Structure 1
Amino acid sequence: MDTATHVVMGVAIGGLATLDPVVSQNPAMTQAVMIGAIVGSQAPDFDTVLKLKNNAVYIKNHRGVTHSVPFWFIWPTLITIMLFMIMPPLNLYHVWMWTFFAVFLHVFIDIFNAYGTKAFSPIYRKWLALGVINIFDPFIFIMHIAAIVAWRFGAHPGWTFLTMFIVIAGYYIWRIREQRKVYQAIHLEHPDATHIFTSPTFRWSRWHIVVRTDNLMFVAEWHKQKLTYFETYPFEPIPDDPVIDAARHDDNLQAFLSFSPAYRWAVSIEPHGYSVKFVDLRYRSKGYYPFVAIVRLDENLEPLSSYTGWIYNTDSLKRKLHYAS
């Protein structure tokens, strides 16, 4: 989820913790758990600082190790130690447990969007991206804001947030069922589909779709119980080609390939030598595919510059490649 939703979710967990008598009967515990829940709900995304290095490192590692099973326990332990050092004597077990819940919930809900996470690494190292909930879901965010406002005007925080979480759990179940309907409809039209990728949007009735068969890839949209096709491409696995092989040594392209499961590639001859371009088909927007990886090579297949990330116009891409050269 986005940062704002994780923040309000931390507040909600802090409010929910007032159902715990050890927390509610001690103002210091109430404050400590609230801080722990808010920080814990943000902690797995501390790897965002990798953006300061470059996009390749960020894309390859974001929602990786910081969301992994060991860090489910490392984050609450570090946060509890910090609170122990700066606050009066606390019941550390209860602080740790509520902070752990905040960390775990952050990781768990990240599984449900199209970006996904390596939540069960190192036990299971593959990305888990269910594509059920948008990165920013207005319903989930508004439910949190409504519950916080109700608390502000006198509602009991524990019961208010417990009710809110039950409603949101029901919402997730409904979204999973809606996605299943999309899958069923696609399988009827494409019984030979080997992969189906769904990306939810702000609108509940609209889904971005990529369908892959042994020979073709279809970029489509599901909207109001109807499948609309935009483009159809041949499915072409990456060949054993000297130009592409040279480009695949580049960090930016490696990062792209570690993240994207549905893409097209192209090699073009340029005045400088060659350009190798990969585009992610899952994020079609207004007829354009903004998530790309580009590697520029000279005639001897030596790298000149490269870039991976979100690009919405050609001029911006040219500037980034020029800066990287």
Structure 2
Amino acid sequence: MLFAYLSLDMDSLTHIVLGAAIGEVLAGRTLGKKALLIGAIANSLPDIDFIAAFWLDTARDVLAHRGITHSFLFVAVMTPLLSFLAGRLFPRSGMTRRSWRVFFGVELFAHIFIDAFNAYGTGWFEPFDHSRVSFHLLFVADPFYSTWLGIAFVALLVLRAGHPARRKWAWTGILLSSAYLCYCISNKARIDRQAKVDLLAQHHSYTRYFSTPTPLNSWLWYIVAEDSSGFYTGYRSVFDCQATDFRYQPRADSLLQPFLGHSDVHCLLRFSQGYYTVEEWGDTVVFNDLRFGEMKGWEDPKAHFVFHYFLQRPEENRVVVQRGRFAGWNGSTLRAFIRRIGGN
């Protein structure tokens, strides 16, 4: 559970330090250190949808998160509104109305853009189109992306307002984290190229495919290829020398029949974008969303999926996205994980 909450906190921390760096670049010379605070708040604003969790059940909450508040419409509406409010709150700041619009527009867009790089999916086109955008490039918390921004943030806190090195630190954090994104794109292209060769060589036909990074790194990737009745799943490191070892996961959606009239199942089906399986754990029917990977699947061929929803006990699903991310991890698991990253 500690790892799960760490994952959540690091995601929020990334938006704070990114927002502060962007704030310094756009308005540091005018606003001084206030640019860090306003930038961090503005960049974090789309996550205001967490409030919905107080009155929505779990299935509706996971569907609502990264929905309308992560859309282009939200950016378009909030940018002029925040600019107007900032102009009233800071009338002598030296910022023009246009400067405020650029400031808030860039901050809000940066948030929804970065969020689209991980598996959850982001509702850029809500409410007109419910499809989610996901590039599957970053784990929800990747220290190799966030660390550079964190270092820059500390430097910006320490350096006095007006110090000539402030913009350099802010740009360094932004550029190094962006360079890491480019490195992730290169790794993903390499993984996809070889995984598709392995699928073909093993005579596994498929209609849809994605790869997504495993926790906290960009070297070991989780692979899913869908056919008409299920999914081939496997793991591949950029350092692997052997072919990818795939195992088959039947969709088994016949198990859903008794639950199809339930509102939570409707939400889960829409949220999963079709990447789901259903299985029985003893006398309990479980809905799995494959996009979030498996619990230690790189070492356990019988691993359960990270996102698993108990259909008969909906009250036990309050932390459905987080509870499986690092379930059962300990020192031995971490060492095994690092060894698997190093290649098979």
* TM-score tier (shorter): 0.7 to 0.9
Q: Deviations over 1:161-181 (max 9, x none)?
A: 223322322221221121111
Greater strand percent: which structure?
1
Q: Once the two structures are superposed, what CA deviation does each residue of 1:60-100 show, in whole Å capped at 9, x if it has no partner? A: 11101111111112222332233233333442221121111
Aligned partner of 2:235 among 207, 215, 221: 221
| SS at structure 1 position matched to 2:47 | helix
CA distance in 2, matches of 1:203, 1:149: 23
1:110, 1:117 within 8 Å by CA — same for their partners in 2? Answer: yes
Give the whole-Å Cα distance in 2 for the aligned partners of 1:186 and 1:175.
16
Q: How many residues align?
A: 290
Q: What secondary structure is seen at the aligned counterpart in 2 of 1:229?
A: coil
Which of 185, 204, 213 pairs up with 1:200?
A: 213
Residue 279 of structure 1: which of 288, 299, 310 is its match? 288
What aligned pairs does 1:121-160 form with structure 2 within 5 A after superposition? 121-122=126-127, 124-151=129-156, 152-153=158-159, 156-160=165-169
TM-score normalised over the length of structure 2: 0.75
Aligned alpha-carbon RMSD (Å): 2.7
Q: Using the TM superposition, give the Cα deviation of residue 246 of structure 1 relative to its aligned residue in structure 2, in angstroms.
A: 4.6
- Which residue of 2 is the match for residue 67 of structure 1? 70
Deviation at 1:41, TM superposition (A): 0.4
Mapping for residues 88-237 of structure 1, pairs under 5 Å? 88-89=91-92, 90-122=95-127, 124-151=129-156, 152-153=158-159, 156-191=165-200, 192-201=205-214, 202-223=216-237, 224-225=239-240, 226=242, 228-229=244-245, 231-236=247-252
Q: Measure, in 1, the Cα distance between the counterparts of 2:114 and 2:282.
A: 44
Higher Cα radius of gyration:
1
Identity across the alignment (%): 22
SS of the equivalent of 1:133 reads coil
Q: In structure 1, how many angstroms separate the alpha carbons of the residues matched to 2:49 and 2:235?
A: 32
**Aligned-partner Cα distance in 1 for 2:155–2:35:** 20
How far residue 182 of structure 1 moved from its aligned partner, in angstroms, is 1.2
Q: Does the 8 Å CA contact 1:40/1:100 hold for their aligned counterparts?
A: no
Contact 1:209 1:222 in 2 (8 A): yes
Q: Does 1:292 align with 2:316?
A: no
Query: Is 1:50 aligned to residue 63 of structure 2?
Result: no
Contact 1:195 1:211 (C-alpha < 8 Å) held by counterparts? yes
Separation in structure 2 between the aligned mates of residue 128 and residue 103 of structure 1, nearest angstrom = 16
Instruction: State the 1:107 CA deviation.
Output: 0.5
- Runs (5+) with no aligned partner, structure 1: 297-303, 313-325
Sort the Cα spacing of 1:9 and 1:268 in 2 relative to 1 into closer, same or farther, 3 A: closer
Report the 3-state secondary structure (helix = DSSP H, G, I; strand = E; otherwise coil) of the residue aligned with 2:76: helix
Query: Is residue 39–residue 79 contact of structure 1 (8 Å, CA) maintained in 2?
Result: no
Does residue 10 (structure 1) correspond to residue 19 (structure 2)? The answer is yes
- 1:38 paired to 2:33: no
CA deviation map 1:278-303 (0-9, x unaligned): 1123320122223122333xxxxxxx
Question: What is the CA–CA distance in structure 1 between the aligned matches of 2:122 and 2:304, rounded to whole Å?
Answer: 25
Using the TM superposition, give the Cα deviation of residue 305 of structure 1 relative to its aligned residue in structure 2, in angstroms.
5.4
* Higher deviation after alignment, 73-82 or 130-139: 73-82
**CA distance 1:305–1:141, change in 2 (3 Å):** closer
- For 1:256, the equivalent position in structure 2 comes to 268
Do 1:293 and 1:306's aligned partners in 2 also have CA atoms closer than 8 Å? no
In the alignment, what sits opposite 2:6?
Answer: none
Give the drift of 1:122.
4.3
Q: TM-score, normalised by structure 1?
A: 0.79
